[in-house]
Amino acid sequence: MHVHRFEKLWIGLSLFLIASFIGIVLFGFTVMDLKVPGVEQGKPVDPTTVLSKGAFANPGVRKIEENHYEVYMVAQQFLFRPGTGQPLVLPADTKVTFHLTSPDVIHGFEVPGTNLNSMVIPGQIATFTTRFPEPKTYGLICHEYCGAAHHNMKGEIKIVPKSEFDESNLISR
Ligand code: CUA
């Protein structure tokens, strides 16, 4: 059977693209160590009890060690706790580990102007670590359609200089 030269070219290009896509995914999971939400934590949570027991029953900022804080945050219809109403306050140039979960439906967590972007899935904990370089106020939005007031689900993250960070509002571990 004769296959035209251009036909061969397009078949070759298509195969190359498919191989590239598979390669990029493998590269992400191996070399870049990307993870899907929940995998890091290993154990799923029960969304029906997550608000009544454990760290998410008392969401907020905790201190792990000097220069390392963690944030337990609940995304629910239609707010972030903490973050909505009052801004979540964190120190600049400090390691911050976020733990997110949802008791109801899938939400999104995005901080525009940064690379912070995660889905928040009921029954799973999304964990990631970041560092905000300097004092600045960021918006916080839900980017997964989660119901009638999805468009109103937003909050604020206020980054203050390390020296002005008030540790009296921390939650004890
Ligand atoms: Cu929560 Cu959209």
pLDDT tens digits along 49-95: 989 988 999 999 999 999 999 999 999 999 999 999 999 999 999 99
Ligand 1 atom 1: the closest Cα is on which residue?
A: 107
For the domain covering 55-169, report its CATH number.
Answer: 2.60.40.420
Give burial (CB, 10 Å; 0-12/13-18/19+) of 143: middle
Q: Where are the beta strands (DSSP E) in 50-125?
A: 60-65, 68-76, 79-81, 88-91, 95-101, 107-110, 117-120
The full set of domain ranges for the chain reads 1-34, 55-169
Cross-strand partners of 79: 76
83-116 burial: b if 16+ Cβ within 10 Å, else e: bbeebbbbbbebebebbbbbbbbebbbbbeeeeb
pLDDT per position as a tens digit, 114-134: 999 999 999 989 989 999 999
Per cent of the chain over pLDDT 70 is: 94
Give the residues surrounding ligand 1 with Cβ less than 6 Å away.
Answer: 78, 107, 142, 144-146, 150, 153
Lowest mean pLDDT among 23-27, 73-77, 156-160, 163-167: 163-167
Kindly report the pTM of this predicted structure.
0.79
How much distance in Å is there from the Cα of 43 to the middle of ligand 1? 24
How far is CA 58 from each of CA 25, 45, 108, 113, 170, rounded to the nearest angstrom?
Answer: 37, 15, 20, 28, 11
With a CB cutoff of 8 Å and minimum separation 6, the contacts of 131 are: 93, 94, 95, 96
- Model confidence band, residue 2 (pLDDT cutoffs 50, 70, 90): confident
CA of 154 to the centre of ligand 1 (A): 8
